[in-house]
Chain A
Amino acid sequence: MMTNHGSRITQGTFSFLPDLSDEQITKQIQYCLKNGWALNVEFTDDPHPRNTYWEMWGIPMFDIKDAAAILYETNQCRKAYPSHYIRLTAFDSTRGTESVKLSFIVNRPKNEPGFRLVRQEVEGRHVRYTLQSYAADQPEGERYR
Chain B
Amino acid sequence: MTEASENNIGIPARDAVAKPAPDDTPVDLEAAFRDSQVQEVLDKLDRELVGLKPVKTRIREIAALLLVDRLRRQLGLTTDTPTLHMSFTGNPGTGKTTVALRMAEILHRLGYVRQGHLVAVTRDDLVGQYIGHTAPKTKEVLKRAMGGVLFIDEAYYLYRPENERDYGQESIEILLQVMENNRDDLVVILAGYKDKMDRFFLSNPGMRSRIAHHLDFPDYAAEELMGIASLMLEQVQYRFSPQAEAAFQDYIRRRMRMPHFANARSIRNALDRARLRQANRLFARADGHLTKRDLMLLEPDDIVASRVFREGVPDEQRPDSAME
A residues bordering B, Cβ < 8 Å? 58, 61, 63-70, 72-73
Q: Which residues of A contact B59 (CB under 8 A)?
A: none
Q: Is the CB of B114 within 8 A of A66?
A: yes
Binding stretch for chain A, among B5-13, B143-151, B285-293: B143-151
Q: Is the CB of B144 within 8 A of A64?
A: yes
Most B CB contacts (10 A, CB to CB) among A58, A67, A69 go to A69
B204 at the interface (CB under 8 A from A): no
Most B CB contacts (10 A, CB to CB) among A58, A64, A70 go to A64
Query: Which 8 interchain pairs have the tightest Cβ spacing?
Result: A66-B147, A69-B143, A68-B185, A69-B146, A68-B146, A66-B146, A65-B115, A65-B147
Which A-chain residue is minimally distant from B185 (CB atoms)?
A: A68
Q: Which residues of B contact A69 (CB under 8 A)?
A: 142-144, 146-147, 185
B182 at the interface (CB under 8 A from A): yes
Which B-chain residue is minimally distant from A58 (CB atoms)?
A: B136
Docked pose: A66 CA to B143 CA in angstroms: 8
CB-contact partner of A72 in B114, B117, B136, B143, under 8 A: B143
A61-B143, A73-B143 known; A68-B148 Cβ under 8 A: no
Q: Is the CB of A66 within 8 A of B115?
A: yes
Q: Is the CB of B144 within 8 A of A65?
A: yes
Docked pose: A88 CA to B115 CA in angstroms: 21
Which A-chain residue is minimally distant from B116 (CB atoms)?
A: A65
Q: How many residue pairs, one in A and one in B, have C-beta atoms under 8 Å apart? A: 38
Q: Which residues of B contact A64 (CB under 8 A)?
A: 143-144, 146
Docked pose: A68 CA to B143 CA in angstroms: 8
Q: Which residues of B contact A58 (CB under 8 A)?
A: 136
CB-contact partner of A68 in B117, B136, B147, under 8 A: B147
Selected A-B contacts with CB under 8 Å, 14 pairs: A64-B143, A64-B144, A64-B146, A65-B117, A66-B114, A66-B115, A66-B185, A68-B114, A68-B147, A68-B185, A69-B147, A70-B143, A72-B143, A72-B185
B99, chain A: closest CB distance, angstroms? 21
Which B-chain residue is minimally distant from A61 (CB atoms)?
A: B143
Docked pose: A102 CA to B271 CA in angstroms: 53
A83, chain B: closest CB distance, angstroms? 24
B224, chain A: closest CB distance, angstroms? 35
Q: Is the CB of B182 within 8 A of A72?
A: yes
Which A-chain residue is minimally distant from B119 (CB atoms)?
A: A65
Q: Is the CB of B182 within 8 A of A66?
A: no
Docked pose: A58 CA to B136 CA in angstroms: 9
Which A-chain residue is minimally distant from B115 (CB atoms)?
A: A65
Docked pose: A67 CA to B115 CA in angstroms: 10
Name the interface residues of B188-211: CB closer than 8 Å to any CB of A.
none
Q: Is the CB of B182 within 8 A of A63?
A: no
Docked pose: A68 CA to B144 CA in angstroms: 10
A49, chain B: closest CB distance, angstroms? 32
Which A-chain residue is minimally distant from B184 (CB atoms)?
A: A68
Most B CB contacts (10 A, CB to CB) among A58, A64, A68, A73 go to A68
Query: Assuming A68-B114, A69-B143, what are 15 further A-B pairs, CB within 8 angstroms?
Result: A64-B144, A65-B115, A65-B144, A65-B148, A66-B114, A66-B148, A66-B185, A67-B147, A68-B146, A68-B182, A72-B143, A72-B146, A72-B182, A72-B185, A73-B143
Q: Which residues of A contact B142 (CB under 8 A)?
A: 69
CB-contact partner of A65 in B136, B146, B182, B184, under 8 A: B146
